[in-house]
Structure formats: C-alpha cells, structure tokens
Amino acid sequence: MALAAYHAAKNTLPDYSHRFSPKKLTQPQLFVYLVLKTFFKIDYRGVVNILKACSELAEVCELKAIPHYTTLQKASRRLLNRKPTIEILARTKNLVMGERKPIKLAALDPTGIESGQISPYFLKRRSNGQKPKRNARLTRWPKIAVIADHATHFILAVHPC
C-alpha cells in the first residue's frame, strides 16, 4: 500500500512545494506517511515510531532521515487539500483500472466524520448525568461520500462536504 501511494504521489505531486524548501523530505514521501497514519488509525507520533521500527518501509519511500511528527502535522494541512488529493486519486485509478470496460455496479457510501478529538462518549461521561455545556456538543459534522467499484472495492471518487 505504501509503495502504491508513493508511486501515485510521485507521478502527481512536485517533489517540493517551494523552490526554497529545505529539501529534506519530498511531498510524495510526506503523502505516504499521511496515508499510513490513516491506514493504521494512529497519530503523527505513531507514524514516526513505525518508521523508526520498520527500516524496509523507509527504504521503499527512499527516506534518508526520519521526520519529526510536527513536520507530518504541517504537511497534512498542505497536502490533504481537495485538489492534490483528487489528482492522486485519479492517477491511482488510472494506474489500477487502466483502459477497462465501464464499471457495471458501483456503491455510494456517505459517512459522517467526527470533527474533533473529543468523542461523544467522553462528553457523556464528563457531564455526570447533568446537561452538558452548550459548547461541549459537536453540532457540525463533516461528511465524506465515497464511490467504489462493487467488484474490486476500488475507490473511484471521493467528495468531502
């Protein structure tokens, strides 16, 4: 998975976001680490620990030094915008699907996503049976709609809203 994400990002993203970048890590490498963070459902420090423990993973991404976790956090703001992510998804789809016939059956799944680090269970426990504070409740939910090929489970499109 890391290798596929690295090749898709390498074909889509420029190596550096600015000509005066420190040139320690490339944008495709940072993108792979963000994919791993999502895949393993861990935080930024956890990704750094995985990279330290797994030298093969660092070799796949041509990594020379392990990044600090704040580097990954700052890169997530820049790389996970809608435009670069959609371009990488389109490139990955073209790599995997190629010139196949049209998809016969696709599935659409819109899902609400927690917008913060506080879980609803924690808010309930914190209130101790009393009415929770007004600003403690999460009132807006980000939503993401995913369209996937039914036969291969390959994600074809993503629409955040």
- Reported as a single tens digit per residue, the pLDDT across 71-118 is 888 888 777 766 777 777 777 767 766 766 677 888 988 887 766 666
- Give the Cα separation of 135 and 18 in Å (integer): 39
Is the pTM for the entire model greater than 0.85?
no
Distance, in Å, from the CA atom of 13 to the CA atom of 57, rounded to the nearest integer, reads: 20
Residue 69's pLDDT is what?
86
pLDDT at residue 134 tops 60: no
| Res. 135 pLDDT band, cuts 50 70 90 | low
Residues 6+ apart with CB under 8 A from 48: 66, 67, 68, 69, 72
Higher pLDDT, 42 or 140: 42
Mean pLDDT highest for which of 22-26, 48-52, 117-121? 48-52
Distances (CA, A) of 1 to 68, 79, 92: 22, 18, 11
Give the mean pLDDT of 27-39. 82
Rounded to an integer, what is the distance from CA 21 to the centroid of its chain?
22
Q: Which residue has the higher pLDDT, 94 or 155?
A: 155
Distance between CA atoms of residues 121 and 138, nearest Å? 12
* 138 has pLDDT over 60: no
Q: Which residue has the higher pLDDT, 108 or 120?
A: 108
